[in-house]
Amino acid sequence: MTRTFNTDGYCDPELNYMVDLSGRLEKIKAMVDEEKYFTINRARQYGKTTLLTALGNYLKNEYKVISLDFQTISHADFEVEQNFVASFSREILECTEDLPDSVEEKLEFYSTESTPHTTLSVLFKTLLELCRKSRQKVVLIIDEVDTASNNQVFLDFLAQIRAYYLKRRRIKTFQSVILAGVYDVRNIKRKIRPEEEHRLNSPWNIAADFDVNMSFSEEDIAGMIGQYENDYHTGMNVGNISELLYDYTSGYPVLVSRLCKLIDEKLAGTEMFPDKKTAWTSEGVQEAVKILLSEKNPLFESLIGKLNDYPELKNMVYLLLFQGQPIAYNPDDASTDMLMMFGFVKVEKSTVQIANRIFETRLYNYFLTLPEVQNGDMYKFALRNKNQFVKNGVLDMKLLLEKFVIHFDEVYGDRNEQFIEEDGRRYFMLYLKPIINGVGNYYVEAVTRNQERTDLIIDYLGKQYIVEMKIWRGNAYNERGEKQLKNYLDYYHLDTGYMLSFNFNRKKKTGVREIRFDDKVLIEAVV
């Protein structure tokens, strides 16, 4: 049977190329063995369902696993206790084999009768009976648990689990309970009506920390595409391709799988990439990135939708992207917490950063294509003159900088220092976008993104260009910048680099000059 890369639903190792989950499953089983109750909270399409499915199979020889999905229960049933009990009972009956006769009989009654007597308390007495009579210890797994988390019935459901967890030394209850979703039910107060103070505290304060890393490492990716290579013998450099895929995605599972799927199914066999050998190259990865960034898919729609729903998140993302403002991680800040929960950002060295290059570029594209931005003069200048910047398939960065200096001075030359410091780099990216749109991509190197310096990496038709955008702080600072850019060019094996300096000195000399720095050519533009 031919296997494929999968981005729809959970992955099946017999049908799909997958990373090796055995190490993760072993760590989770250790938590189950220790009677831990915990939550698995990750952003959309982060592999939660695939992991839970694999976990159920991994545990079933030692435990009786009840695995449910709250998406199969209607929202209306969560609003009435008796309806929830009926739906919950039906789900257990449908997904669980070999129930004790007395338990099955009671669940059948609850599932077909909706009376005042079928309460959560009655349901849990039956579940405790199941735990007592089962030959194996019982593990309860619930996926998409936050589907139900904005009502009181669900809070009461969690309270029942908590109550019996606290009595587990005196009565036989679940060995482990695992709840999975985007929202952390320990912080369920953000989903409950804020005006009702008595509903702000979640009863799920018994949960142990879940520290298993679900993102893919370079080794994970190499293992997955290594399976593919064993099947097709493309001759790809597995190590280099896995490193490149990781560089773009930071291991976000669905992004890795989508890029692989695009290379395999969309690129191989095209005029540009006539076979799998030519597709599984660095050029193929870059082309797949371009296709992915132009797609409409549920993940990106959710990403942008959250920005529109939460203006405070949109403002924070804007500051991260365009003004290079370092945002220290504060676990008590609601906006940061939500950005992490939705998968926008990660925390590295105690600062908040955009989660990966794919998200970063998609977010740049979003902010740079807003109507109020594209109606500006800089965008129109670039759009009108875009054809002159590409010669024989090569992006003429020197000419682009020369024209940018002219147009920027015409439009914004009389603006104050604060405007240029906060928005100057954004206008260069806005100028660049229509020129490379549809052919090239760009991203910002995270380690150099700050209020004074940002390195922009441009990929265009297989070639890379590095532009250091910085605020002018005097000749000494500029010389340090030249040295930093030279080191960066060494890292990327490039001979020419570009600098764009925003200078507030009234006696400045604007324009573009070319200088030699050791064995490198640096082209510097000053506005």
Q: Is pLDDT of 265 > 90?
A: yes
Whether the Cβ atoms of residue 164 and residue 124 lie closer than 8 Å to each other = yes
Pairing of strands 520-526, 345-348: unpaired
Beta-bridged to residue 183, according to DSSP, are none
**pLDDT tens-digit profile of 202-239?**
778 899 999 999 999 999 999 999 999 999 999 999 99
Q: What kind and span of H or E run contains 441?
A: strand 440-444
Provide the pLDDT for residue 248: 94
Residue whose C-alpha is closest to residue 158's, from 143, 145, 139, 172: 145
Strand order in the sheet with 511-517: 440-444, 453-460, 463-471, 496-502, 520-526, 511-517
Q: Is pLDDT of 110 > 50?
A: yes
Point out the least confidently predicted range of 23-27, 180-184, 284-288, 512-516.
180-184
Provide the pLDDT for residue 495: 94
Local structure of residue 267 (DSSP, 8 states): I
Contacts of 342 (CB under 8 A, 6+ apart): 43, 44, 182, 302, 303, 306, 313
pLDDT-based confidence at residue 114 (cuts at 50, 70, 90): low
Q: How far is CA 187 from CA 202, 204, 207, in A?
A: 6, 9, 11
Provide the pLDDT for residue 20: 97
Q: Name which residue leads in pLDDT, 201 or 431.
A: 431
Q: What kind and span of H or E run contains 465?
A: strand 463-471
**pLDDT tens-digit profile of 446-470?**
665 555 567 888 988 888 899 988 8
Provide the pLDDT for residue 133: 96
Average pLDDT of the chain, as a whole number:
87
Averaged pLDDT, 471-498 = 78
Q: What kind and span of H or E run contains 134?
A: none
Q: Is pLDDT of 189 > 60?
A: no
pLDDT-based confidence at residue 151 (cuts at 50, 70, 90): confident
Provide the pLDDT for residue 199: 46
Provide the pLDDT for residue 190: 44
Averaged pLDDT, 509-526 = 89
Whether the Cβ atoms of residue 234 and residue 256 lie closer than 8 Å to each other = no
**pLDDT tens-digit profile of 128-146?**
999 999 999 999 999 998 8
Q: Is pLDDT of 385 > 90?
A: no
**pLDDT tens-digit profile of 287-311?**
999 999 999 988 999 889 989 998 9
